Amino acid sequence: MSEAAGVVTIEWPQLLLAAGFMVVVGVISLRLALGLERDLALATARTYVQLFVLGLVLRWMFGIDSPWLVLAILVLMVAAAARTIVRRAPDAPKGMLGSSFVSMALTGFIVTFAVTGLVVQVEPWYRAQYVVPIAGMVLGNSMNGIALALERTFADLDARADELLALVALGASPWEAAAPSVRTALTAALIPTINSMAAAGVVFIPGMMTGQILAGADPMKASAYQIVVMLMVSAATALGSVLAVLLTYHRRFSASGVFIERGLRDDIATARAEE
């Protein structure tokens, strides 16, 4: 372990020592027959590899002054987030990838550049050192909120299948029938974000603020950045979740507005594909 410019650096021996935490968890998994040893090992290995690769990529990006490169990286990040959302909502209807991509792109780009351009006032506007990390925080947190909102929306719709069929039969529109499920899902998606905001600085020190303090930044300046980060993440999560649900909930209804029950979905999807 060495110290440079007032910052304690972590070398390979310390990095390998940190893996001991996961070894302890693996031993616990073995003793309790949880069967998580392989997943823990793979997740630990991926953490080392992916974050070191990310460090190399960011170091390379920070040396290139190109707005097109920054925008291309952001599009790739949005695409990866959209795929992750689809995998986390296995019961969601087909065609959700496009809706997830649109939701992530709109919220991610709007919130990221609003923060870098209006709040932080980065010059130039595409400066990778600021844009890419902020976009990563926005996309990562909103991705979790969107995935939770979509999963809860379609799970709640299925749980209310009989009620939805009755409402539609009585003349309710898809929105009127699905609105209670949408509200329930959006509330569930936003609760973790609200809890984090309420507990920040009391129960825990947020990650970005911790990182800046460890890097030698003034705690007051670090707290200012953290306030901006938490507010932008909360806004992105809320906007992304609302947009994603509104773009996809109607896929559980036919063109005539009838709720599609679980046993009929494959037949309807096949018929649509043949058309």
What single-letter amino acid sits at 160?
Answer: R
Other C-beta atoms closer than 10 Å to the C-beta of 206 total: 20
Q: Which distant-in-sequence residues (6+ apart) come within 8 Å of 207 by Cβ?
A: none
In contact, 241 and 149? CB cutoff 8 Å = yes
Six token digits for residue 36: 């998580």
pLDDT in the model for residue 266? 59
- In the block, which residue shows the tokens 């995935």? 147
What is the full per-residue pLDDT of the chain (275 aa) written as tens digits? 455 555 677 788 888 898 899 999 999 999 998 888 899 999 999 999 999 998 898 888 888 778 898 899 899 999 999 988 888 876 777 778 888 899 889 988 999 999 888 888 888 888 888 888 889 888 988 898 899 999 899 999 989 989 999 999 999 999 999 999 999 999 988 898 888 888 888 877 777 788 778 777 888 888 888 888 888 888 999 999 999 999 999 888 888 888 888 766 655 444 444 44
pLDDT in the model for residue 275? 44
Residue 29: strand, helix, or coil:
helix
Six token digits for residue 97: 């990838």
pTM of the model: 0.78
pLDDT in the model for residue 181? 93
- Cα three-residue angle 108-111-116, rounded to 5 degrees: 115
pLDDT in the model for residue 65? 76
In contact, 70 and 131? CB cutoff 8 Å = yes
pLDDT in the model for residue 3? 52
Instruction: Round to whole Å and give the CA distance between 245 and 99.
Output: 9
pLDDT in the model for residue 2? 52
pLDDT in the model for residue 274? 43
pLDDT in the model for residue 233? 87
Domain regions of the chain by residue span: 1-63, 65-274
Q: Which helix (H) or strand (E) holds 3?
A: strand 2-4
Instruction: Round to whole Å and give the CA distance between 45 and 23.
Output: 12
DSSP letter at 2 equals E
